[in-house]
A = this chain, B = another copy of it.
Amino acid sequence: MFELERRHCTQPTGPAFGRPDDKLRDEQSRLASLLTDCFAVPVIGRRFAPTHWLAMTESAEMLTKTQHLFDDATRVTAGDSRWQGRTSDDYWAFVGPFGGITAATILRALIDHPQRSGDPLSVTVNCCAPIAQGAFDLDVRLIKANRSTQHWRVELSQGGAEVATLATAVFAERRPSWSHQRAEFPKSPPFAQIQPYPKVAAPWVKQYDFRFVEGHPDFSGAVKDAPANAFSKLWIGDRVPRKIDMLSLMSMSDAFFGRVFHARRELVPFGTVSLTTYFHVDAEDLAAEDIDRVLAVADAKIFHKSYGDQAGELWSPQGRLLATTHQTAYFKA
């Protein structure tokens, strides 16, 4: 389990790997001026998707640099309390890295930490400021350890500047207990029977295989007078299959498209502000599921005064609730 990775792969760059070119950078700047927080993911479709981002010409071979792009993207270099990571062009969103990959990188630093014991129980990530392309530091602190729980705090910053991401996490050694799954497994046709979501725009979306069962994205902006349903049910797997672990579960918990896009049927400036994910399995339970995709549902309850919520569930195909996730997100509409 414990593994320190001391090197960084050299990130290939250029359009083939989805690095923003200049024209896009301009659009990003424009977008950035509209956004107050990081995790900005107006990621898909018409308005923000120049056609050359839609090209999916990379072969699976190109996508696999060492083991899996996800593992490259979430690589950390161990320090004492100061760890290092680096944004991944492969998981780039529009004005920063995809939030899920940042959350997973933070979680990797914790899981790899020599003082870590137990498995992630709850992770909260607050997006304080955009993260620029390049290296970042993780200030990792074990705040308090009890007999069976650990409380961590991680602050991500770049070049000695202010905190860009503030995270807290609880780890627990989960002992056997009475067990009862109240939530009902969402019914769905199997993964293989559903077409992959084809409108791949931002690099990070390209790394996932989204298969919508309900609440297909329609961001045409066609009908805007009556709000549409914000509910989605979809399969999520890594585009290059990878066994689901705590890290990918963390990342996938932020991989839903903004609920406001669904409700408004259009892309609008959007950014997750605070995300909390609860894990309902430990690493052993999850490994035993032996899966490379999850069935996920997400919905929103309210959009008001520039902020909206999202609640999601991630299920194993066998019907086990793996994680629940909640977030509040900024939008401009």
Given A121-B307, A263-B180, A302-B182, does the pair A144, B129 have CB atoms closer than 8 Å?
yes
* Min CB–CB distance A60 → chain B (angstroms): 35
CB distance B281 to A304 under 8 Å? yes
Which of the candidate stretches A43-51, A76-84, A171-179 sits at the interface with the other chain?
Answer: A171-179
Picked from B153, B263, B306, the residue with its CB within 8 Å of the CB of A166 is: B153
In this assembly, does A198 line the interface, its C-beta being within 8 Å of a C-beta of chain B?
no
Contact between B328 and A177, CB atoms less than 8 A apart? no
A242 at the interface (CB under 8 A from B): no
From residue A7, how far is it (CB to closest CB) to chain B in Å?
31
Let me know if B168 and A36 touch, CB within 8 A: no
Kindly identify which residue among B121, B180, B263, B306 contacts A274, using a CB–CB cutoff of 8 Å. B121
Whether A146 is near chain B, meaning CB under 8 Å from some CB there, is yes
Q: Does A52 contact B (CB under 8 A)?
A: no
Contact of A177 among B166, B263, B304 (CB under 8 A): B304
A174 partner residues in chain B, CB cutoff 8 A: 304-307
* CB <8 Å contact, B166 and A122: no
Asked if B168 and A122 sit within 8 Å, CB to CB, the answer is: no
Of all chain B residues, which has the CB nearest A119?
B305
Cβ A309 vs Cβ B332 within 8 A: no
How far is A111 from B326 in the complex, measured between Cα atoms in Å? 24
Measured CA separation A228–B311 after assembly (Å): 24
A151 contacts the other chain (Cβ, under 8 Å)? Answer: yes
What is the CA–CA distance of A126 and B313 in the complex, to the nearest angstrom?
22
Cβ contact of A143, chosen from B166, B264, B332, cutoff 8 A: B166
B residues in contact with A200, CB < 8 Å: none
Q: Which of B155, B180, B306 contacts A227 (CB 8 A)?
A: B180
Contact residues in B for A128 (Cβ distance below 8 Å): 143-144, 146, 151
Of A36, A128, A144, most B-chain CB atoms within 10 Å: A144
> What are 24 residue pairs bridging A and B, where the CB atoms are less than 8 Å apart in the complex?
A36-B148, A121-B307, A122-B274, A122-B328, A124-B168, A129-B144, A153-B166, A177-B332, A177-B333, A178-B264, A178-B303, A178-B333, A179-B305, A180-B227, A182-B230, A183-B302, A274-B276, A276-B326, A278-B326, A278-B328, A280-B307, A280-B309, A281-B305, A309-B324
- Which residues of A approach B to under 8 Å, CB–CB? 36-37, 121-122, 124, 126, 128-129, 143-144, 146-149, 151, 153, 155, 162-164, 166, 168, 170, 172, 174-183, 227, 230, 263-264, 273-274, 276, 278, 280-282, 285, 299-307, 309, 311, 313, 321, 324, 326, 328, 330-333
